[in-house]
A and B are shown apart, each in its own frame.
Chain A
Amino acid sequence: MGSKNDEFFKEVVKIVGKEYASAEREDIIPYCRDEVSQALKTYDADYVVVPGTAEEVQAIVKLANKTKTPLYPYSYGTNLSGATMPRKGGAVVVLRRLNRILKIDEETQTATIEPGVTWSKLIYEARKVGLEPLPLGGGPHTGGPIGNYNLGGGSTGSIDLNEVVSLEAVLPNGEIIRTGSAAFRGMEVTNPYFRIAWGPNLNELFRGSMGIFGIVTKMIRRLYPVRPIEEPIQIAFPDVHSIVGGMRDVVKMGIVKQIVGTNRYQTAAIAATSDVFHNPEEFRKLEDSLPEFLMMAKISCYNEKQAQVYRELINEAITKNNGKIITFDGYVKETLGQLWGGSSVSAIHYLRHEPHLMAFVYVPPHMIPGAMELAHSLLKKLDYKIISSSGREIPPRIWLAPWERTECFMMEFDIEFNPMDKSSIEKFRQFMPLYFQETMKYGSAQASAGFFRQMEAGLLPSYSKLLRDIKNAVDPNHIMAPAQVFKDI
């Protein structure tokens, strides 16, 4: 428990002002709990600090180094899987006041943003000049592109995963680093829009780093043109084999701007209005009306002729895989149409679940059906029941998205638990580590963020050692997000 008399607190108040620093538990607790925290052991931070500029972040990091105070960066704060929950006291550094879109550059089609910028703010502003970022359809609209924990995620169709051009971060020693072409002196002004740097591009040091190498304070991110025809196409598939084949073949053509797949129960959760979701009978009707699997793809075309060609190509690809283009009416048409706000209205529907952990696995497409069966069998073994709002037992809701083109698919299982039921939470605790361990057999290269990370044992020792060596070299005092990746540092 921190005190207002601690050296760190007294000094940090001088940096940010007394209204932006607190050692009160009433202020701290909200940063130390999230959707899954009732299923986890939680730790309280000692302080919360809300800097307003990158310079203040820098001063805080320097102070933390001097006082050996752990820091846990927290961007806008949509944290659904325990990722930002502090694990060793110290201070939560809240970055929501760094909320400027510094530049939307139409020539390079990029946006320069701070960590407090949300997806929806970026979408809203970029669309004013006919551009948009491409997050995975349905990400939390209140989250930000700079999550500080899982940087730059968001795969869409034929677009490469890494949307980050360059970034600026405060290293654990308080120095500023810039990546990509901005790593060259003066280039942060003249040309920061070039992704390749001298030697390895250190963007990758920060992506998925869980904040252990520094605090990202600025990012240049790619944007894409919004064309006259932006058309969502929905395709029904009878089973998982068919949808994976269909998605793979469509993505291979490189003609869709965004693409995701969902199972019936995920589609229902997205499509329902709140009133329908909370009406068991209506929700059951909705679930029953939907196809087993649904692929939602969006084409972006300059003209109708191009759109027609794209539609025909997609139809050909999906027909081979037992897919059929379908349309919806009424509120379902509207809600599914909103999905392509990516992180705007769509997220409202996307989040309509029981508390759950988004269990991600990244697997080659042909291994998806096996990984799905594995999850089902593990749930059955534990007698783990997921109950839909319709009142019946359902398999986990699923998202599918091509990641890194078609080399790898992201499959997200939403493992729901009843926060009021201790036995449900206990089973949830047992399921998650087991699931991550077992899916490695299916080529899963990365597990979910949050508290269930235990992948180090599965890493090549040489990889693990190099990562630890980098951490020790960059952060000898272990102030940045200790225990977030490595249990001991």
Chain B
Amino acid sequence: MALEDLKSQIYHCSKCGACRVAYRQSLPCCPAGEHFGFESYFSIGRTAIARAILEGDLDWNEKVRDRVYNCTLCGTCDAHCYAAMGLHPVQTYLEMRRELVKRGLGPMPQTVPMVESVKKYDNPLMADNKKRGEWLKKAKEKKIKPGQAVLFFVGCALEFDPNATAMAKATANLLDKAGVDWGLLNEEEVCCGFPVFELGCEDEFARLAKKNIEKINSLGVKTIVTSCAGCQLVMKREWARYGKLNAKVMHITEFALQLLKEGKLKIKKDFKKKVAYHDPCTLGRYCNVYDEPREILKMIPGVELVKMEREREEAWCCGAGGGQVLANPEWSAETAMQRLEEAIDAGAEVLVVGGCPTCMMNFDMAIHGYANMAKLYGKVLEKAPVAMKFLGAAQKLSAPFMKRKKKADIEVVDIVELLDKVT
């Protein structure tokens, strides 16, 4: 695939602007465009830049890179553009990212240490892969055996982020409670490739996709369950470019709902709270999983589901995607704060996130400051001079976010943990 192959998509942009506005309420839908202000940061602008490049009117350069990478890849523009024009502009930006990487211009310097980590350690956090499974006492005995039907693909965040391991434990609990015969890859699990996929590092993504497909196919697994929306996105949509995966991929919300409907998983406790549901971009817009988490929430006694102004296709991004949590932490956290404010305005006491450690991390950063984030990525960030500079700047940002803590008077819970509590 090259930008030339997307010419039809690019030339069919009518510049109608459907990509810029959540159309039912006319509220902003593009975090990048709203933050940076110029059309060049909205979908129509990036598409115009792509067209200018194809026509030789603009060259690939760092200014183009900044406009292409300063985007959360939330896909709201894509959902709107598909409804209006049948186009998928996100394909264009992803291809532009790949081209920028090929030309040595991408990704954004702040994200380079993470890519290097993926190359060297098979995870984006410079963690020791041998330590996968440490979050679970019985990890060794849960090592998947050939012929076992269900693989719980944990994902790097749930493995190594101290805040996210709770999601991993909750997922394991749910599978156990439902009597599912499941297993883990432990030290044989490698990154799904999502972080490098969204940064346009296609060679690295291809390597990981092939490695994963080969390993999982060799086990004869029938179903892969993951509680990471990013992992399930690449497994469902992107791995196929590098091989045929024989297993069915299910996000935990899809799998848990199935278990609940089959009566294998039972809700035993109530949760008397006003709850707003946040659609992770990677789960909702990219994989069309909107109803399952909502159905689960409706099954929990006491939950009063309140509606935020922007939901489903129009949901405001948490701000972390597309590499922004590293490249633009301040903007990333501001975007998260806007989402939290929307939930508070809707009267929610709890914001439930639909199985996404990245959203959870970013909401945590918006509420509690940069401390947890720095702790998680500290090792990565300390390795590269550019990242050190970035870390210093990012730490300074903690103070204003901490001040905002009062305003963000809302609890953020992932649906996996909530479901574990009530079953």
Contact = CB atoms under 8 A, between A and B. Distances in A.
Interface of A: 19-20, 22, 24-27, 29-31, 33-35, 38, 48, 50, 76-80, 94, 97, 118-124, 140-143, 274, 277-278, 344-345, 347-349, 351-355, 419-420
B15 A80 contact: yes
9 contacts: A26-B63, A27-B40, A33-B51, A35-B14, A78-B16, A121-B27, A124-B24, A344-B23, A351-B14
A419 B7 CA distance: 10
Contact of A420 (B8, B23, B42): B8
B154 interface: no
A142 B17 contact: yes
Given A22-B38, A419-B11, A30 B49 contact: yes
Contacts of A34: 14-15
B37 A19 contact: yes
Given A26-B58, A274-B82, A351-B85, A124 B18 contact: no
A355 B51 CA distance: 15
Nearest to B27: A121
Contacts of A77: 15, 17, 20, 39
Contacts of B15: 33-35, 77-80
B17 A78 contact: yes
B11 to A, nearest CB: 4
Given A33-B48, A34-B15, A345-B24, 5 more contacts: A48-B39, A120-B23, A274-B84, A345-B23, A348-B84
B7 A80 contact: no
Interface of B: 7-8, 11-18, 20-21, 23-27, 36-40, 42, 44-45, 48-49, 51-52, 57-58, 63-64, 67, 80, 82-86
Contacts of A26: 40, 49, 58, 63-64, 67
Contacts of B11: 38, 355, 419-420
A29 B37 contact: no
B20 A142 contact: yes
Contacts of A121: 21, 25-27
A30 B8 contact: no
Nearest to A34: B15
Contacts of B8: 420
A142 B391 CA distance: 39
Residue of B11, B37, B40 contacting most chain A CB atoms (<10 Å): B37
A118 B26 contact: yes
B26 A355 contact: no
Contacts of B7: 420
Q: Which 10 A-B pairs have the closest CB atoms?
A: A121-B26, A142-B17, A30-B45, A120-B26, A30-B39, A419-B11, A30-B48, A35-B14, A34-B15, A26-B63
Contacts of A353: 14
A123 B11 CA distance: 31
A34 B42 CA distance: 14
Contacts of B84: 274, 347-349, 351-352
Contacts of A78: 15-17
B38 A277 contact: no
Contacts of A27: 38-40, 45, 67
A347 B14 contact: no
A80 B52 contact: no
Contacts of A349: 84
A215 B147 CA distance: 71
Contacts of A123: 26
Nearest to A25: B58
Contact of B23 (A25, A48, A76, A141): A141
A124 B52 contact: no
A363 B410 CA distance: 59
Contacts of A38: 11
A452 to B, nearest CB: 17
A140 B17 contact: yes
B26 A352 contact: no
Contacts of A347: 16, 18, 23, 84
A20 B58 contact: no
A80 B58 contact: no
B88 to A, nearest CB: 11
Contacts of B23: 120, 141-142, 344-345, 347-348
A143 B20 CA distance: 11
Residue of A27, A35, A38, A277 contacting most chain B CB atoms (<10 Å): A27
B25 A124 contact: yes
B25 A97 contact: no
A373 to B, nearest CB: 28
A142 B40 contact: no
A355 B14 CA distance: 6
Contact of B25 (A50, A120, A140): A120
Contacts of B83: 274, 348
B81 to A, nearest CB: 9
Given A33-B48, A35-B15, A142 B21 contact: yes
Nearest to A125: B26
Given A33-B51, A277-B86, A50 B18 contact: no
A143 B86 CA distance: 20
Contacts of B37: 19-20, 50, 97
Contacts of B39: 27, 30-31, 48, 77, 94
Contacts of A48: 38-39
A27 B17 CA distance: 16
Given A121-B26, A124-B26, A351-B85, A29 B16 contact: no
Contacts of A31: 39
Nearest to A19: B37
Residue of A19, A24, A278, A345 contacting most chain B CB atoms (<10 Å): A24
A83 to B, nearest CB: 11
A46 to B, nearest CB: 15
Contact of A29 (B21, B52, B80, B86): B52
Contacts of A50: 37-38
Nearest to B40: A27
Contacts of B52: 29, 33
Contacts of B13: 35
A132 to B, nearest CB: 13
A122 to B, nearest CB: 8
A45 to B, nearest CB: 12
A449 to B, nearest CB: 15
Residue of B16, B36, B45 contacting most chain A CB atoms (<10 Å): B16
B321 to A, nearest CB: 22
Contacts of B82: 274
A348 B85 CA distance: 8
A205 B18 CA distance: 30
A143 B17 contact: yes
B58 A118 contact: no
A348 B18 contact: yes
A79 B20 CA distance: 13
B26 A419 contact: no
Contacts of A142: 16-18, 20-21, 23
Contacts of B42: 30
Contact of B16 (A80, A345, A354): A80
Contacts of A419: 11-12
A19 B38 CA distance: 9
Contacts of A348: 18, 23, 80, 83-84
B39 to A, nearest CB: 4
Contacts of B18: 140-142, 347-348, 351
A277 B87 CA distance: 12
